[in-house]
Amino acid sequence: MDDIRPSPTTWPRFRPSGDAAITVELDEGVDRRTNAKVIRLHRRLHVEPPAGVRETVPAFRSLLVQFDPRVTEPAALQEALTAIIQDVSDEPLPSRRWTIPACYAPEFGLDLAEVAELAGITADQVVECHSSTLYHVYMLGFLPGHPYLGDTPEALHLPRRKDPRTRVPRGSLAIATSFTVIYPFDCPGGWHIIARTPVRLFDPAAAEPALLAPGDEVRFEPVPLAMFETLSAAGRGAWLS
């Protein structure tokens, strides 16, 4: 499958990913315009797939294209994708805008005080800074329904924790580098936990199991502990703005 590799100085780049998939890289940086083009390509291929394309999976700056090798071959698929990509815009996407309640109380913001100390600001300022930002869903990954949200304010850019936790509670909001994530399930994690949401991000019984999708926008609404418990008991979730 070496014949599908173009010159490394050109975009897009096509990389073999096993015997039945190609990764299409659209740029080397992680930014909203590149991600918008990834998502537009993903949506285009869902509606008008070239022969043999089975599924596409968007990431920060690339798209995994799975295909049936009995129907097409990598070189032919690359040619078809190249033609389509030339017609795909990187303009901002029309998007759904979600408001997600988040409780930044010490019970849930396990690393909030440490984040404030590292950032050189108060815990209240961390909350204000984090919750006043409109985030972009770059991709889902790591776990079903697990969103990578950018762009966290620069004042809160921190490396991952040196000592990852073996268990992070479901619904935890955590930050590292320029991203915020929400853990949809209890799992290990090495990011800084600053809050928790009662919103259920993944429901396998729902028509759309993942609440969020790449290209969505998210704003966090700070809520007190009592409201968090009320929302949890009522089974209420996020709402569209």
For residue 187, what are its two tokens? 């799992």
Q: Which residues of 123-147 are buried (b: 16+ CB within 10 A; e: fewer)?
A: beebbebbbebebbbbbbbeeebbb
Which pLDDT score, from 0 to 100, does residue 5 have? Answer: 46
CB 103, CB 196: distance < 8 Å:
yes
Predicted TM-score (pTM) of the model is 0.91
For residue 106, what are its two tokens? 């010490």
Which pLDDT score, from 0 to 100, does residue 8 have? Answer: 47
Which pLDDT score, from 0 to 100, does residue 1 have? Answer: 43
Which pLDDT score, from 0 to 100, does residue 3 have? Answer: 44
SS (H, E, C) 171-182: CEEEEEECEEEE
Q: Please, what are the averages of pLDDT over each run of 10 residues along the chain (241 residues)?
A: 50 94 95 96 96 97 98 96 94 92 97 98 98 97 96 97 96 98 97 97 93 96 95 81 77
Domains and CATH numbers, the chain: 2-85 (3.30.1360.40), 97-240 (2.40.100.10)
Spatial CA neighbour of 232 closest among 101, 112, 107: 101
Which pLDDT score, from 0 to 100, does residue 236 have? Answer: 61
Which pLDDT score, from 0 to 100, does residue 237 have? Answer: 76
Q: Determine which helix (DSSP H) or strand (DSSP E) holds 79, and give its type and residue range.
A: helix 74-85
